[in-house]
């Protein structure tokens, strides 16, 4: 080798090493709490997977390819901090401020890769997160849905119909089309997708975190949520010893007591958390009282540094009386607490409509840290439920003997979800998993009160009339939710009106790959699933012919997205397509084993664009979306009026009874804009705001089938729904709120919400939805904490909802225009059936923590 060659190679080597040196920037700094160094704090380069942690002295050294950007510094129990950096400039000392809230890392102790919680997700989504302290402050005596009311594109009707009777829509889609997960476990009903909040009354007690991902979301499961995905994360096993006692009181004799205790992590690696709650109240609407309990047990075991186990068992047995919509005229004349279900029986005002249910849930989580780059999370779960809804009936024979009966909806549900996550390199990671479910639902009617009669006679109607039989029953069964497990009808003669099982088996595979480098990120998610539906009818079919043919449906979904982050600014776009299997209630027709020829897979297309800005003092999110949904099936119910009875067969329907309607072949087109922000202009003050504007419409023809409470078909109609506004949610909402610490442990807060372009449900007697008057509400609260010692505190909280006692309509189930001679209220014909929201309500609580 000559001198020239040697010089050339040396020059090339110098240039290469120089380029590498220039590409690799080294950032140094120190993290403290103002007085002491913080060891183990996490430092990440925003928009990438480059990161490190502080040493025992709080110092860190981070190598990155970026010449400038933003660092995110996190530590448990402290507020996350963003710090800008540039090449060759030392960061210096970073001071983290203690936070009153739990950090997500502190909450998500179990099943992190299963829970689908978007925590600084590299490819952003439209998301809102509500932590434990906000849940505890805002919910009071309401359902946990109250924690989501100050969220863009979310509309929650109050539980004026009774405890646990609230409902929620997301981007105009009802809660049967929003996926709800509990610690990674799907909780939407497998037969119809619905969620009844009375069955989940204890969620507000046990939830440490609620996160709603609007639209496509980040869920890896083979679930095709349309409106979005809501994750409920319960308390994991607490690692510190202690507990609390809490007493809550409220309007209409609401009383609630909660006791909790945590052993902390013991020397044997075990930790146990236990919580018990008892509640009761008279209810806001007349004769809608209720009572119930909540139990929660979590047992954690740290096997070693690689394996963690956690068993959680929870349930919320309850009963409550029910109200429904009524004519606006009755509410105006008799007050907003009027209940159409109340009647005079033996000279006494009585409400016979009652819901009672007990649904224990258990899940077992196993987290395995395989290596620094790979992990496996698995949850095995089970749910067993007993209960139903009571109403007054009459015997099928000529005597028409009145009695009370409950429509039972029991089930047993088992499942397993497992997810393997691997980091391939600093920029690329993937996960893959499976989701298996097995469900059996049992449905029948049983007598709960003979109302003085010695017995009733009922007919088992077979498809072949000559095979129909008369049965006599004198047995009465309890509506106590605890007793439904041992006191329930099992004999043929005690199961009246119908008796059938729903069997659903589901298997899904899902996966995701995500790439991030220099502020640019991209992801792709996909899933495939197979669902089998079988219906077994013991009432209408002779032995040997009771089981339907198995109906198998294949479904899939695919979604992907891109984003780019520069300093505190992020822009992103996501797109997804779903082919979702229909629910079993829509697969079989006429409440028999007849297969519905209209029950095709539903087709959903979702598109999103978004912008995020984060800084020390101000955060904001702006989202635009469009969702189209074809081949969908919608179901609802309404109270029969005199006009409905005249329209249909009077022998099949009476005034005040429920009419069920099912619409097939519906198409919906939803688009809109969403904005939310949070400002922290000075210490102790936070200002938040949100706004959403939607344009949600039906499109095309739909076929509607109507049935009475005995599920006998009343008629079939065809409607042209093109351009009809989607109801049950306000298409324009905006609001804001603040929290201000007057002194260190004394804070006031208030929230304002405005709702407009709110339409009623699609009625059976037309193809239009009723536009309801706009309304606004103000809620306020006061919090005070007395610190007794490092571990002992007493906390006080007072909530006042609908502070100015506004009278408003939250939903409607009819469409009746106002003629020249009709009575009206704010332009609404007062003969329309509506639900009036709660007036001014309040709760107060005191909590002793030890």
> CA-CA distance, 254 to 163, in Å (whole number)?
11
Write the CA distances from 142 to 145, 149, 158, 205, integer angstroms.
8, 12, 8, 11
> CA-CA distance, 511 to 419, in Å (whole number)?
9
Across the range 257-273, mean pLDDT stands at: 88
> CA-CA distance, 68 to 792, in Å (whole number)?
45
Question: What is the CATH T-level fold of the domain 17-99, as seen in this structure?
Answer: Immunoglobulin-like (2.60.40)
Residue 78, pLDDT above cutoff 80: no
The pLDDT of residue 748 is 97
Residue 500 · residue 538 · CB < 8 Å? yes
Q: Which of the four pLDDT bands, split at 50, 70 and 90, describes residue 589? A: confident
Write the CA distances from 344 to 114, 341, 348, 351, 825, integer angstroms.
52, 10, 5, 9, 29
Tens-place pLDDT, residues 187-240 = 888 888 889 898 888 788 888 888 898 987 767 665 667 888 898 887 666 656
Residue 205 · residue 296 · CB < 8 Å? yes
Tens-place pLDDT, residues 331-375 = 999 999 999 999 887 788 899 999 999 999 999 999 999 998 999
Q: Which of the four pLDDT bands, split at 50, 70 and 90, describes residue 167? A: very high
Q: Which of 35-44, 460-469, 629-638 has the highest mean pLDDT?
A: 460-469
> CA-CA distance, 167 to 579, in Å (whole number)?
26
Six token digits for residue 572: 């992103």
> CA-CA distance, 374 to 303, in Å (whole number)?
18
> CA-CA distance, 60 to 52, in Å (whole number)?
7
Average pLDDT of the chain?
87
The distance of Cα 316 from the centroid of its chain, to the nearest Å, equals 16
Residue 23, pLDDT above cutoff 60: no
Write the CA distances from 755 to 325, 385, 619, 728, 759, integer angstroms.
20, 36, 24, 12, 11
> CA-CA distance, 481 to 526, in Å (whole number)?
41
Q: Which of the four pLDDT bands, split at 50, 70 and 90, describes residue 765? A: low
The pLDDT of residue 115 is 61
> CA-CA distance, 136 to 783, in Å (whole number)?
11
The pLDDT of residue 239 is 58
Q: Pick 664 or 329 by higher pLDDT.
A: 329
CATH 2.60.40.1120 in the chain, residue ranges: 17-99
> CA-CA distance, 213 to 229, in Å (whole number)?
5
> How far does the chain reach from its first CA to its final CA, in angstroms?
79
Q: Let me know if 427 is exposed, middle or buried by CB neighbors in 10 A (0-12, 13-18, 19+).
A: middle
> CA-CA distance, 397 to 319, in Å (whole number)?
31
Write the CA distances from 581 to 228, 321, 365, 552, integer angstroms.
17, 34, 28, 9
The pLDDT of residue 545 is 92
> CA-CA distance, 768 to 771, in Å (whole number)?
9
The pLDDT of residue 225 is 76
SS3 content of the chain, % helix, strand, coil (to 5): 10, 55, 35
E strands present in 485-519: 496-517
Residue 745 · residue 739 · CB < 8 Å? no
Six token digits for residue 44: 């990440």
The pLDDT of residue 99 is 58
Residue 448 · residue 477 · CB < 8 Å? yes
Instruction: Calculate ∠ Cα 748-753-759, nearest 5°.
Output: 160
Residue 378 · residue 324 · CB < 8 Å? no
Residue 119 · residue 103 · CB < 8 Å? no
Q: Which of the four pLDDT bands, split at 50, 70 and 90, describes residue 109? A: very low
Six token digits for residue 8: 């050339």
- What number of H helices and E strands is found in the chain? 7, 53
User: Does residue 792 sit in helix, strand or coil?
Assistant: coil
Residue 735 · residue 696 · CB < 8 Å? no
The pLDDT of residue 632 is 74
Superfamily classification of domain 251-486+494-572+586-849: TonB-dependent receptor, beta-barrel domain (2.40.170.20)
What count of other Cβ atoms lies within 10 Å of the Cβ of residue 474?
12
> CA-CA distance, 460 to 110, in Å (whole number)?
50
Q: Pick 24 or 330 by higher pLDDT.
A: 330
Residue 714, pLDDT above cutoff 80: yes
Letter string b/e over residues 132-149, b meaning 16 or more CB atoms within 10 A of that residue's CB: bebbbbbbbbbbbbbbbb
The pLDDT of residue 123 is 66
Bridging pattern class, strands 173-174 and 167-170 = antiparallel
The pLDDT of residue 77 is 57
What Rg, from alpha-carbon coordinates, does the chain have? 29
| Percent of the chain at pLDDT exceeding 90 | 54
The pLDDT of residue 459 is 86
CATH 2.40.170.20 in the chain, residue ranges: 251-486+494-572+586-849
Tens-place pLDDT, residues 527-550 = 999 999 999 999 889 899 999 999
> CA-CA distance, 38 to 59, in Å (whole number)?
8
Longest CA–CA separation in the chain, Å? 118
> CA-CA distance, 295 to 207, in Å (whole number)?
13
Residue 611 · residue 732 · CB < 8 Å? no
Write the CA distances from 282 to 5, 243, 279, 351, 577, integer angstroms.
94, 29, 11, 13, 46
Residue 120, pLDDT above cutoff 50: no
Q: Which of the four pLDDT bands, split at 50, 70 and 90, describes residue 634? A: low
The pLDDT of residue 97 is 73
| Percent of the chain at pLDDT exceeding 70 | 90
Residue 568 · residue 491 · CB < 8 Å? no
CA nearest neighbour of 545 among 494, 592, 498, 600: 592
> CA-CA distance, 192 to 176, in Å (whole number)?
7
> CA-CA distance, 503 to 582, in Å (whole number)?
14
Q: Which of the four pLDDT bands, split at 50, 70 and 90, describes residue 60? A: confident
Q: Which of the four pLDDT bands, split at 50, 70 and 90, describes residue 507? A: very high
Bridging pattern class, strands 602-614 and 685-699 = unpaired
> CA-CA distance, 59 to 79, in Å (whole number)?
18
CA nearest neighbour of 570 among 63, 15, 70, 40: 70
Tens-place pLDDT, residues 671-711 = 999 999 999 999 899 999 999 999 999 998 887 888 887 77
Residue 633, pLDDT above cutoff 80: no
Write the CA distances from 634 to 553, 583, 585, 693, integer angstroms.
19, 11, 11, 23
User: Does residue 24 sit in helix, strand or coil?
Assistant: coil
E strands present in 269-306: 270-281, 290-302
Q: Which residues contact residue 822 at a Cβ distance below 8 angstroms, ignoring those fewer than 6 apart?
A: 829, 830, 831
């Amino acid at each position: 080798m000559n001198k020239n060659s040697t010089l050339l190679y040396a020059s090339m080597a110098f240039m290469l090493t120089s380029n590498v040196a220039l590409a690799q920037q080294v950032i140094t700094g120190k993290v403290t709490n103002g007085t002491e160094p913080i060891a183990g704090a996490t430092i990440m380069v925003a928009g990438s997977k480059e990161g490190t942690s502080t040493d025992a002295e709080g110092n860190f050294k981070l190598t990155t390819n970026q010449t400038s950007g933003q660092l995110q510094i996190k530590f448990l129990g402290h507020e996350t901090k963003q710090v800008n950096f540039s090449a060759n400039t030392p960061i210096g000392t970073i001071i983290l401020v203690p936070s009153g809230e739990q950090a997500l890392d502190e909450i998500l102790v179990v099943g992190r890769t299963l829970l689908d919680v978007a925590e600084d997700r590299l490819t952003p989504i439209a998301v809102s997160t509500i932590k434990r302290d906000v849940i505890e402050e805002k919910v009071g005596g309401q359902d946990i849905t109250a924690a989501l009311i100050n969220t863009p594109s979310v509309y929650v009707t109050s539980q004026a119909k009774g405890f646990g009777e609230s409902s929620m829509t997301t981007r105009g889609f009802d809660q049967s089309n929003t996926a709800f997960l509990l610690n990674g476990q799907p909780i939407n009903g497998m037969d119809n997708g619905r969620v009844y909040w009375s069955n989940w009354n204890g969620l507000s007690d046990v939830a440490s975190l609620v996160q709603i991902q609007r639209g496509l979301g980040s869920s890896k499961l083979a679930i095709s949520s349309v409106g979005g995905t809501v994750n409920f994360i319960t308390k994991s096993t607490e690692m510190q010893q202690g507990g609390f006692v809490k007493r809550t009181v409220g309007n209409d004799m609401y009383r609630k007591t909660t006791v909790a205790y945590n052993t902390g992590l013991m020397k044997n690696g075990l930790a146990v958390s236990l919580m018990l709650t008892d509640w009761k109240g008279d209810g806001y609407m007349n004769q809608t009282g209720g009572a119930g309990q909540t139990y929660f047990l979590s047992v954690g075991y740290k096997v070693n540094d690689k394996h963690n186990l956690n068993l959680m068992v929870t349930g919320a047995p309850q009963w409550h009386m029910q109200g429904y919509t009524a004519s606006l005229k009755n509410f105006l004349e008799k007050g907003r607490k009027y209940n159409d279900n109340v009647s005079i029986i033996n000279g006494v005002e009585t409400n016979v409509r009652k819901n009672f249910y007990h649904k224990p849930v258990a899940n077992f989580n196993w987290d395995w840290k395989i290596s620094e780059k790979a992990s496996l999370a698995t949850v095995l779960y089970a749910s067993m439920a007993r209960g139903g809804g009571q109403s007054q009936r009459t015997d099928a024979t000529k005597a028409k003997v009145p009695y009370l009966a409950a429509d039972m909806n029991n089930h047993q549900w088992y499942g397993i979800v497992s997810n393997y996550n691997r980091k391939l390199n600093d920029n690329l990671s993937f996960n893959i998993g499976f989701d298996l479910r097995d469900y059996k639902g049992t449905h029948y009617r049983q007598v709960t009160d003979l109302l003085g009669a010695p017995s009733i006679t009922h007919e088992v109607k077979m498809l072949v009339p000559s095979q129909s039989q008369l049965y006599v029953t004198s047995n009465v069964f309890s509506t106590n939710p605890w007793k439904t497990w041992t006191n329930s009808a099992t004999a043929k003669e005690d199961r009246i009106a119908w008796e059938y099982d729903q069997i659903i088996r589901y298997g899904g595979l899902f996966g995701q790959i995500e790439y991030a480098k220099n502020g640019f990120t991209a992801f792709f998610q996909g899933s495939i699933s197979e669902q089998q539906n079988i219906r077994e009818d013991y009432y209408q079919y002779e032995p040997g012919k009771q089981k339907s043919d198995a109906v198998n449906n294949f479904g899939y979904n695919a979604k992907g997205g891109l984003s780019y982050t520069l300093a505190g600014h992020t822009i992103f776009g996501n797109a997804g397509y779903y082919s979702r299997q229909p629910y079993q209630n829509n697969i079989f027709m006429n409440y028999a084993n007849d297969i519905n020829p209209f029950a095709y897979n539903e087709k959903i297309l979702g598109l999103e664009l978004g912008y995020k800005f984060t800084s020390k003092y101000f955060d904001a999110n702006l989202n635009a979306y469009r969702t189209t949904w074809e081949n969908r099936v919608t179901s609802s119910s309404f109270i029969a009026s005199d006009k409905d009875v005249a329209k249909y067969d009077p022998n099949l329907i009476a005034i005040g009874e429920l009419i069920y309607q099912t619409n097939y072949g519906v198409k919906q087109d939803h688009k809109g804009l969403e904005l939310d922000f949070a400002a922290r202009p000075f210490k102790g003050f936070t200002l938040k705001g949100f706004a959403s504007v939607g344009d949600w419409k039906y499109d095309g023809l739909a076929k509607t089938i109507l049935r009475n409470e005995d599920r006998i078909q009343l008629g079939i109609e065809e409607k042209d729904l093109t351009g009809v506004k989607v109801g049950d949610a306000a298409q324009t909402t905006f609001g804001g709120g603040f929290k201000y610490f007057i002194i260190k442990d004394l804070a006031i807060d208030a929230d304002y919400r405005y709702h407009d372009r709110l339409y009623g449900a699609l009625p059976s007697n037309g193809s239009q939805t009723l536009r309801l008057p706009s309304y606004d509400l103000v809620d306020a609260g006061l919090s005070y904490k007395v610190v007794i010692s490092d571990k002992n505190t007493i906390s006080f909280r007072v909530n006042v909802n609908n502070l100015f006692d506004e009278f408003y309509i939250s939903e409607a189930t009819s469409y009746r225009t106002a003629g020249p001679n009709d009575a009206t209220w704010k332009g609404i014909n007062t003969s329309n059936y509506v639900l009036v929201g709660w007036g001014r309500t309040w709760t107060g609580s005191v909590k002793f923590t030890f």
